[in-house]
Amino acid sequence: MSKTLNYQEEPITEALHSIIERWKDEEGNLIMIFHAIQKEYGYVPRNVAIFVSETLSIPLARIYEITTFYNYFNLEPPAENTIAVCMGTACYLKGAEDVLNAFRKEVSIKAGEHYSEDRKYKIEEIRCIGCCGLAPVITFNEEIIGRVTAADVASIVKEKSK
Ligand code: FES
C-alpha cells in the first residue's frame, strides 16, 4: 500500500539540543533520543531526524531503520482526533471492516489514506487491544468504545470529536 507522508518543518529547539546532549554518549542512545523527540514534538519530524543525523554523524537511513521498525514512533504530525479501529480476529469477525469503512466515510478519509485533508482526523487500523469481549472495539482519542456498529459511527464522531 503506498502512503504519502505529510512533512512540516519544526523548530530546532533548546529542548532538542538538550536531548541530544543528554544521550549522545550513551549506549542505545538513538532510541532514547527519538523517544524524547516524540515526547517533545508529538512525533518524529523529518527535519529533526535530519538534524540528529547531521549532529551525531549517523546516516539518515540508520535513523529511519529504527524509527520505522518500532510502531511506537510516529513519522507524521498528530491529527486533532485519532480513531483506531481494531482489526484483530474477534473484532474482524464481528464486523470491524464495516465500522472502519463507516468511519472513513464519516470523516472523509479514503481507503489507503490515514488523514482527513484538514488533518482533523486520523484513522488507524490496530491489532487486538485485549477487549475482545466487547468486539468490535475502537478507540477514539484513547477512549475505548466497544460493540460499535456502523450505525453508531456518526454519533460517536459528533460526540467525541475535539
Ligand atoms: S480482537 Fe479486537 S479487541 Fe481483541
Report the SS3 class of residue 29.
helix
Mind listing the pLDDT tens digit for each residue in 22-54?
Answer: 998 887 899 999 999 999 998 999 999 999 999
Q: Is the CB–ligand 1 distance for residue 131 below 6 Å? A: yes
Give domain status of residue 102, yes or no. yes
Give domain status of residue 5, yes or no. no
Which residues, at least 6 apart from 64, have a Cβ–Cβ distance to it below 8 Å?
A: 49
**99 touches 106 (CB < 8 A):** no
Residue 94: which domain range?
81-160
Q: Are residues 143 and 118 in the same domain?
A: yes
Q: Is the CB–ligand 1 distance for residue 148 below 6 Å? A: no
Q: Are residues 145 and 95 in the same domain?
A: yes
pLDDT, mean over the chain = 91
Q: Is the CB–ligand 1 distance for residue 134 below 6 Å? A: no
Q: Are residues 114 and 143 in the same domain?
A: yes
Q: Is the CB–ligand 1 distance for residue 96 below 6 Å? A: no
Mind listing the pLDDT tens digit for each residue in 124-143?
Answer: 999 999 999 999 999 999 89
The CA 33 to ligand 1 mean position distance, Å, reads 32
Give domain status of residue 6, yes or no. no
Q: Are residues 45 and 104 in the same domain?
A: no
Q: Are residues 116 and 65 in the same domain?
A: no
Element (H, E) at 145: strand 143-145
Distance CA 20, CA 50 (A): 13
Q: Are residues 100 and 58 in the same domain?
A: no
Write down the residue that cell numbers 484483530 correspond to. 88
Distance CA 34, CA 150 (A): 37
Question: What pLDDT is attached to residue 102?
Answer: 98
Mind listing the pLDDT tens digit for each residue in 100-132?
Answer: 999 999 999 998 888 999 889 999 999 999 999
